[in-house]
Structure 1
Amino acid sequence: MLRGGDPYKSRHRRRAKKVGAVGSFDKGDVDIRRAKQGGLCHYCGEVLEIDGPRKFQVDHFIPLSRGGTNMMTNIVCACPECNRDKGSKMPWEYRPARFAPGCRRD
């Protein structure tokens, strides 16, 4: 953790500012999001690890580089592999079947 700060807020705020994205979120928002997802990766459905080398990561559902915001409503929790593989793709480009018409986001 960063000295005296929230690692999610600091890291993502810098990235958002760089591309001109609005909004911010903090650890509490991430905790709410992870609970909403039932502790599962948003993309593959695997159990999210809280610590260790496979610790979950915060992903911008709509990437900052593609016009997404840095608000809580645009974040999801993902396993490191899904977050890495998705990169700057839109969710429906990364996992088309997961985001077909009629599928729920959560």
Structure 2
Amino acid sequence: MIRGGDAYRSKHRRRAQQHGAVGSFDKWDVQIRFGKQKGLCHYCDEKLDLIGPNKFQVDHFIPLSKGGSNYMNNLVCACPDCNRAKSDKMPWEYRPARFEVGCKRDG
């Protein structure tokens, strides 16, 4: 079970409001997303930690600063390294190979 739902919600809600983004999510949405990703980072496919200093982070696939929403369908779970490196880049700017024809994402 994923803990810290209130922390996710309040931090992301504040950022969403600052950017005028619509939507909200809760810890259950994050748990569903984590399960759909089979506990792997969306960007590098490394196993995500549930606790500790390398605990996974919730990332907005389309950054809030670029018009992304705060709804569940715009969330992915990422390792801290990928989340920091992606920052406010569009996903195809951060990891272009994930968007090439025939990549694992298309399968």
TM (norm. structure 1) is 0.91
Paired amino acid for 2:48: L
Give the structure 1 partner of residue 97 of structure 2.
97
Give the structure 1 partner of residue 23 of structure 2.
23
The whole-number CA distance in structure 1 between the counterparts of 2:65 and 2:59 is: 12
Identity in percent:
69
Q: Deviations over 1:6-54 (max 9, x none)?
A: 1111110000001100000010000000000000000000000000000
Paired amino acid for 1:37: Q
Q: 1:81 to 1:105 in 2, by over 3 A?
A: farther
TM (norm. structure 2) is 0.91
Paired amino acid for 1:81: D
- Spell out the pairing of 1:10-49 with structure 2 (5 A cutoff): 10-49=10-49
Give the structure 1 partner of residue 78 of structure 2.
78
More helix by share: 2
Q: Deviations over 1:42-86 (max 9, x none)?
A: 000000000000000000000000000000000000000000000
The whole-number CA distance in structure 2 between the counterparts of 1:50 and 1:72 is: 19
Give the structure 2 partner of residue 59 of structure 1.
59
Indicate the SS of the match to 1:6: helix
Deviation, structure 1 residue 105: 7.0
Q: How many matched pairs? A: 104
* Unmatched tracts of structure 1, length 5 or more: none
Moved over 3 A (4+): none
* Unmatched tracts of structure 2, length 5 or more: none
Indicate the SS of the match to 2:59: strand
Give the structure 1 partner of residue 9 of structure 2.
9
